[in-house]
C-alpha cells in the first residue's frame, strides 16, 4: 500500500506560548521589551524591575500535563525548561520583533 504524503500526521499545531507583562519600567518601548525578553532567554535573567509571566501548552499531546495550559514566572519557567522550549520561545520573539 502506498504511503500517505506527510505520514498522516496533522501539522500546523505547535507548542503555544503566551507572554504576559506584569511590570516593566515606564516608557519601555515594544522593541526594547522584545530585546529584553530575548536577552533573558539567553541569560536566564530578566532585567531589574521586570515581572513577566509565561503560559504554555502543547495541544498535540494526547495525554499529560502539557495538554492543558501551564504557567509560571518567566525566570522560573526558563530555568526549568529544555533547550527546545527556549528555542521555541526565541523563535516566537524573533517573529514578534520583526
Domain ranges of the chain: 14-96
Q: In the numeric block, which cell numbers belong to residue 72?
A: 509560571
What does the pLDDT average to over 30-41? 95
- 3 state SS of 82: coil
What does the pLDDT average to over 14-30? 91
Percent of the chain with pLDDT over 70: 83
pLDDT at position 6 over 50: no
What pLDDT score does 76 carry? Answer: 93
Q: In the numeric block, which cell numbers belong to residue 65?
A: 500535563
The beta strands (E) that lie in the chain are given as: 16-23, 51-57, 70-73
Q: Is this structure's pTM higher than 0.85?
A: no
Cα–Cα distance for residue pair 46/69, rounded to 1 Å:
22
pLDDT at position 9 over 70: no
What pLDDT score does 61 carry? Answer: 74
Could you tell me which residue, 27 or 63, shows the higher pLDDT? 27
Amino acid at each position: 500500500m502506498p504511503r500517505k504524503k506527510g505520514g498522516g500526521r496533522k501539522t500546523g499545531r505547535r507548542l503555544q506560548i503566551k507572554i504576559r507583562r506584569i511590570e516593566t519600567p515606564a516608557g519601555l518601548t515594544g522593541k526594547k521589551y522584545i530585546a529584553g525578553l530575548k536577552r533573558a532567554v539567553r541569560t536566564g535573567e530578566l532585567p531589574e524591575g521586570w515581572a513577566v509571566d509565561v503560559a504554555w501548552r502543547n495541544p498535540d499531546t494526547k495525554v499529560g500535563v502539557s495538554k492543558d495550559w501551564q504557567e509560571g514566572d518567566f525566570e522560573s519557567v526558563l530555568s526549568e525548561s529544555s533547550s527546545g522550549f527556549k528555542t521555541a520561545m526565541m523563535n516566537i520573539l524573533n517573529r514578534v520583533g520583526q
